[in-house]
Amino acid sequence: MKDFGQLVKNLKKDFSNLKIIKIAILGDTSTQFLTKAIRGLGYDHGFNLEILEADFNQIERQVYDPASALYQFLPDIVIVFHSSHKLLSKYNKTKPSDQPLLASKELESLENIYLTITHNLNSKLIFYNYSEIDDGVFGNHANKTESSFLFQLRKLNFELMAMASKRPNLYLCDLSTIQNQVGKPRFFQPSVYINTEMVLSIEVLPRIASKTIDLIRSLNGKIKKCVIIDLDNTTWGGIIGDDGIENIQVGSLGIGKAFSEFQYWIKKLKDRGIIIAVCSKNADEVAKAPFEKHPDMVLKLEDISIFIANWENKADNIRQIQKVLNIGFDSMVFLDDNPFERNMVREHLPQVCVPELPEDPAEYLEYLYGLNLFETISYSAEDRDRTKHYQVEAQRVITRQKFTDEADYLKSLKMHSLVEPFNKFNTPRVAQLSQRSNQFNLRTVRYTETDVENIGRNTNYFTFSFTLEDRFGDHGLISVVILKVESADVLFIDTWLMSCRVLKRGMEDFVLNTLVDFGKKNGFACLKGEYIPTARNEMVREHYGNLGFEKQDGYWILCLESYMYKHHFIELNKHYHVRN
């Protein structure tokens, strides 16, 4: 978020082509900085906010004088900011017997302001609510004492909500929540207040401007309508394809709790009319299994309007989702734990909102709460039925369509791979992949770190580890091959496994080229592969066949002499040497 100084610098920019919205700000304390922050932030959202700022403490004069600047200005939106500090001054001057009536009296005067303005102007109204001040006079007992200031302030906030729920043109901007999020010492700076009559610290102004602009945006129809969620490590902990349904983390234990609470949040959004779409790199039936069978899953398939699980790139999949929903990209939010996917979507679809989810899933929700992504100005029962409608729509429309030219796309990734035999640096990762990979794993033979070290030293074996890096980031070590000398002519592929994150990148072709090259240089005639089926490695059943191996006696054979090198877009970083 930009700080106040940066927002002020925006004021010097060219606003001439931006959408003009006229706003009047009426406050009982100094609002000059708030005005600058709102106008400055408006620029970043494409608004030229023309702001009428009344001198402070003139709310009543502006509202009740028909000849006031307010009525000449004809604003689209009127913002009324009564501060908690002025409320406290009023309370301080009230005799004890009248203190229990403070909130009701105040509410009556606020309602009169609303009625007078809406009677005379065709404007929407935004009232700021009251950030809490506990004057400490009663201690905790304030909560059971109607005449305490805290009691009256909270009552007023509550009654304001009740009033807003009945008044169609009244919206509340929730200052109290902002103070809860940042803490009072950051919200309010006493020395600044004493010197200037400003009750908002300079530090918190951008947040308040942002919460105000969120309302202005939604009043102008700019709202988020759809949230697209990733599955592995976003909706549940772990990788469904590798870990299996019994090992993913969701439920009340440990980190599973973070994912369950995240799912409840998504479910609440769905219930209030936000369309939920899934976009996951997985096989479709594997991705759907937890929704159907895991007892702790909060989200069910019927909550999801569009479910896309495949190995295509996510920008294309989001285009697909957009096509089905027929809504703007700027009304979509994409939540994914993987920085690569986020950057990729940001680059290809800059209008989609892609929050930078924290690394620790435990922090997802607090972070998302703070962003206020799903501002709205209306809510009705029909919103709830939207999901069903789009589920039907999705079935009708989805025809596999490629938006991005595959070769151009792969070329644009500028991929590099480092190929090395096992060594002491990559051994832990090789062992980890060997233990964890289930889907892209031809024989699923598991090796521990000690096994990996031994194989690396054994001259009967040749070992290969592959990394992949592209312009969006480094995927690290993602593929492992172990070749065993079976005879003077034959190299047996003891292990070939790969992380599914890098499917559809041409990595398999690159790996095979590397193996063939190696075999030829070392005088071998053929490669011999084997597929051992497991419950999870269906995706590589035809792996060798697709790469041009011939089936013989239950094994797959590739003749090196006649091999046609495959075309790919991965650059070799370093030439391979058998032993380090």
Partner 1 sequence: MSGIEILAQLNAIFIDTIDNDAVVLKKETTANDIEEWDSLTHIQLVVAIEKHFKIRFTSKEIQSWENVGEMVDSILSKVSG
Comparing CB distances to partner 1, the nearer of 195 and 552 is 195
Task: Give, in degrees to the nearest 5, the angle at Cα 479 between 473 and 483.
Answer: 155
Within 10 Å of residue 520's Cβ, how many Cβ atoms?
13
Smallest distance, Å, CB 4 to partner 1? 7
In whole angstroms, the minimum distance from the beta carbon of 151 to partner 1 comes to 30
Q: 143 vs 196, which CB is nearer to partner 1?
A: 196
CB of 202 to partner 1, least distance (A): 5
Cα 283 to Cα 306: distance, rounded to the nearest angstrom: 15
Least distance between partner 1 and beta carbon 83 (Å): 17
DSSP one-letter string for 536-557: S-GGGTTHHHHTTPEEETTEEE
Complex with partner 1: residue 202 or 371, whichever CB lies closer = 202
**Cβ closer to partner 1: 8 or 557?**
8
For partner 1, the closer CB: 88 or 373: 88
Q: From the CB of 5, what's the least distance to partner 1, in Å?
A: 6
For 138, phi then psi, to 5°, come to -110, -5
Task: Indicate the residue among 189 and 513 with the shorter CB distance to partner 1.
Answer: 189
The alpha carbons of the chain give a radius of gyration, in whole angstroms, of 31
**Coil, strand, or helix at residue 485?**
strand
Query: Is residue 229 a contact partner of residue 278, using CB atoms and an 8 Å limit?
Result: yes
Residues in contact with partner 1 by the rule CB under 8 A = 4-5, 8-9, 12, 32-33, 189-192, 194-196, 198, 201-203
The nearer residue to partner 1, 67 or 194, going by C-beta atoms, is 194
- Between the CA of residue 25 and those of 7, 63, 305, 309, 377, what are the distances in Å? 18, 12, 41, 48, 20
* DSSP result, 278-333: EEEES-HHHHHHHHHH-TT-S--GGG-SEEEEESS-HHHHHHHHHHHHT--GGGEE
Q: Closer CB to partner 1, residue 35 or residue 310?
A: 35
Side-chain-side CA neighbours of 113 within 13 Å: the count stands at: 27
Smallest distance from partner 1 to CB 134, Å: 22
As measured in angstroms, the least distance from the Cβ of 192 to partner 1 is 6
Helix (H) / strand (E) containing 479:
strand 473-485
Cβ pair 299, 266 in contact under 8 A: yes
List beta partners, residue 552. Answer: 555
Least Cα distance to 457 among 428, 424, 506 occurs for 424
Closest CA to 234 of 312, 313, 290, 318: 290
Closest CA to 225 of 305, 297, 279, 337: 305
> Closest approach of Cβ 195 to partner 1, in Å?
5
- If the CB atoms of residues 35 and 84 are measured against partner 1, the closer one turns out to be 35
Shortest Å, Cβ 79 to partner 1:
19
Distance (Å, whole) CA 4 – CA 11 = 11
Tell me the closest approach of the beta carbon of residue 339 to partner 1, in angstroms.
30
Q: For partner 1, give the closer residue by CB, 7 or 433.
A: 7
| Least gap, CB of 337 to partner 1 (angstroms) | 33
Q: How far apart are CA 377 and CA 383, in angstroms?
A: 13
Contact status, residue 228 vs residue 215, Cβ threshold 8 Å: no
Cα distance between residue 148 and residue 86, in whole Å: 16
Nearer to partner 1, 99 or 189 (CB): 189
What is the closest distance, in whole angstroms, from the C-beta atom of residue 86 to partner 1 in the complex? 19
Residues 6+ apart with CB under 8 A from 211: 173, 174, 175, 178, 372
Burial degree of 561 (CB within 10 A; 0-12, 13-18, 19+): exposed
Half-sphere CA count of 269, side-chain side, radius 13 A = 27
Q: Identify which of residues 37 and 126 has a Cβ nearer to partner 1 in the complex.
A: 37
Shortest distance in whole angstroms from residue 40 CB to partner 1: 12
CB closer to partner 1, 36 vs 224: 36
Residue with tokens 């106008």, as numbered in its chain = 39
